[in-house]
Amino acid sequence: MNTMSNFEKWDNEFRAQNLYAFNNNTNALLWLKVRAVCRGKLIGQFLNENGLALTTSKVSEQNIELFELLENRDDAKLMLDRFLQGKNHEWYTSMGVDEEKLKADLYKVQYYAWGGDHNNSLDKHLVSRYVKVISEYDNLVSKQGEIANNAWNYVQNSWYNNWTSYLIESLFKRHPRVISAVGEIKSVDFFIDDFPIDLKVTFFPNQYMDEKIKAKLGKSVLSWLKAQGKKFGITANGDYSESQQIYTLTEKLSELGHYEIIKSLNATKREVIRDTQNDPIELMVWLYAHQGEMRFGAENRLFVVLADSIDMNQSWKMKRAFSLIEPKIQNYLDCFTNKSLKKIDFNFKKQNYTSLADVIFVISKTEFEEEDDKE
């Protein structure tokens, strides 16, 4: 009976999404870092720099051979870390990006409107909305402007998200305690003190906010605003989307000077955010449990959660607020310990998973919060 090799063991654990098994295990960490260098030209460079030779030529077989070679060497971790650390800096210099100009250009984006469908799929949106439902060519031609706007919104928002994510990830990878998984391992962006990390930059979830507000007010945001508006004869068209009804009611209440109602709702939102900052475990469990099925993962995650605490719809602007983001990341990494990541147990599709995770909150400081601080 053949005994399973260590390579097979960790390969099976990785494929089964049992990434928790890779924490605090030297051999598992070796498997991940070998996987990081077994990509394209990287493996050849690693072998040359360290005077190593392999008998196989296929990358998949080299991955196994290199792992089995290094797991018997005491200097394996040193070799891998030194190589990955050197490549760390190439990641954000190879494209020749002028980062200061890029940061300035991000402020040229004045609105955040997705083209495509709710899954951000432009092609599927165009096919389902125009190609398969419009049979008259002249009618299709009349939609050119609408189609162009959809495409532009999709491209602009994708561009904005891509480059803000690039800059935020660069802030981590420049820190001396961080080693990049330069070979683009699925589920690992970098290592912090040998903890494999998948970085997730996200906005404070509207659905989570709604759930918490409902628990505090006894009603959803829309139901609560409807009840407040009813006192003054203010209504919103029920045929509109929920977000449009909320916007309409908020605007009408403000027009008539009922600012105390809006201020009360905003105060509740800030309270939810403060509660979550004080005890983020529930949010992390929620984020794992509510991820999309196509992008599911149970890896260690570091969430950078962004929010405009007054107008959640404006939170997209926080992705370019590097004067707020950079010191938060720097302080987090400077103060990182082996207890920073919290154990997270969650359920997805009736299966239980365990991960390690943490949150860096970047929340805009509003004029109302400044008033609260003075009190």
Joined together, the tokens standing for residue 15 give 């494929």
pTM, two decimal places: 0.87
How many angstroms separate the CA atoms of 347 and 182, rounded? 30
Q: What is the dihedral of CA 222, 359, 108, 153, to 10 degrees?
A: -60
Residue 373 has pLDDT above 60, yes or no: no
At 266-297, the pLDDT tens digits run: 899 999 999 999 999 999 999 999 988 878 88
What is the chain's mean pLDDT, rounded?
89
Q: What is the mean pLDDT of residues 209-225?
A: 93
Domain edges within the chain: 6-92, 108-160, 201-374
pLDDT above 90 covers what percent of the chain? 67
Non-local (6+) Cβ contacts of 186 within 8 A are: none
Residue 375 has pLDDT above 60, yes or no: no
Q: What is the mean pLDDT of residues 1-26?
A: 89
Residue 135 has pLDDT above 70, yes or no: yes
What pLDDT score does 367 carry?
42
Looking from the CA of 20 toward its CB, the CA atoms found within 13 Å total 14
What pLDDT score does 68 carry?
95
CA–CA distances in Å: residue 117 to residues 124, 128, 136, 296 = 7, 9, 23, 20
At 306-318, the pLDDT tens digits run: 998 777 788 999 9
Q: What is the mean pLDDT of residues 189-202?
A: 94
Higher pLDDT, 232 or 88: 232
